[in-house]
Each structure stands twice: as C-alpha cells, then as structure tokens.
Amino acid sequence: MTAARGLLAAMALGAAASAATAAPDVLRGEQIYVRCMACHALASDRVGPRHCGLLGRRAGSVPGFDYSPAMKNSKLVWDEKTLDLFIKAPTQFVPGTAMTYDGVADAGERQDLIAYLKKAGQSDACKP
C-alpha cells in the first residue's frame, strides 16, 4: 500500500515537472545567450549592438552603432514575434543584415532565449 502511494506521488511529481517545462525557462535562455555573446553584450556595443532595452525598441536604433542599411530600413520593432522570426533565420528574415549567424533552429530554445532577453533587458545590468 505505501509502495503504491509512493509510486502515485512520484507520477504526480513527474507530471508537474513536465507541465512546468512548457513555460519559458529564463535560466535555460541565459545559457543559450552564451552563443550570442560571441558578438553581443547586454550593456555595451560589440560586433553587434547592445541588448539592454531590446524589447519594444525599433530595429537599428541604438545611437552610434553602425548598422547595415537593411537593418536600419527594416521598420521592425522588436517584440516576441519579430525576435522569434529574426533569431530563427537572421539572413532570411532581414535580407542583407550584417548579422551573419545561422540562427537558433529550435523553437523551444528561442522561446527561452527571448524570455531571457526580455528579463535581462530590464535588469540592473541595464540601469545607468
């Protein structure tokens, strides 16, 4: 009897754990962001522009960063949808972009990465 109850409890825990993975995982997103750090940082411009304040910002609008004409003229605003499309296939979504990077093919990884960018972009690291 106790063994059976233990098993049921374990099954319930397992179900809870797999339900939790459906929500974006900011910590996993932070690990995926390591790939972007080859060229980007949150608070400073490097090969790519800073990512502080990314969500809600117009594409190609960080003052002083030397964007490609394609990015400057894209008229995009970065939100979950546009970021998902861009990060999936940068050179297809913005033809002519200077971001020569293959992209992140896995939809779940993109979701976690965007959740991280959203949170990190408003974090203390981004406060002046």
Q: Which residues bind ligand HEC (CB under 6 A)?
A: 35-36, 38-40, 47-49, 54, 59-60, 62, 67-68, 70-71, 78, 83, 86-87, 97-101, 104, 113
How far is it, in rounded angstroms, from Cα 120 to Cα 51?
Answer: 8
Whose Cβ is closer to ligand HEC: residue 14's or residue 73's? 73
CB of 115 to ligand HEC, least distance (A): 12
- Kindly list the distances between the CA atom of residue 82 and the CA atoms of 27, 90, 124, 126, in Å, as whole numbers in the listed order: 22, 11, 25, 22
Least distance (Å) between residue 75 CB and ligand HEC: 11
**How far, in Å, CA of 128 to CA of 111, rounded?**
27
Cα(114)–Cα(33) distance, integer angstroms: 9
Please say which residue, 6 or 58, places its beta carbon nearer to ligand HEC. 58
Q: Give the C-alpha distances (Å, rounded to integers) separating 116 from 48, 59, 119.
A: 18, 18, 5
Instruction: Take residue 65 and report the two structure tokens written for it.
Output: 């960063």
> Least separation, in Å, of the C-beta of 5 and ligand HEC?
45
Nearer to ligand HEC, 10 or 44 (CB): 44
Of residues 8 and 37, the one with the C-beta less far from ligand HEC: 37
CB of 11 to ligand HEC, least distance (A): 36
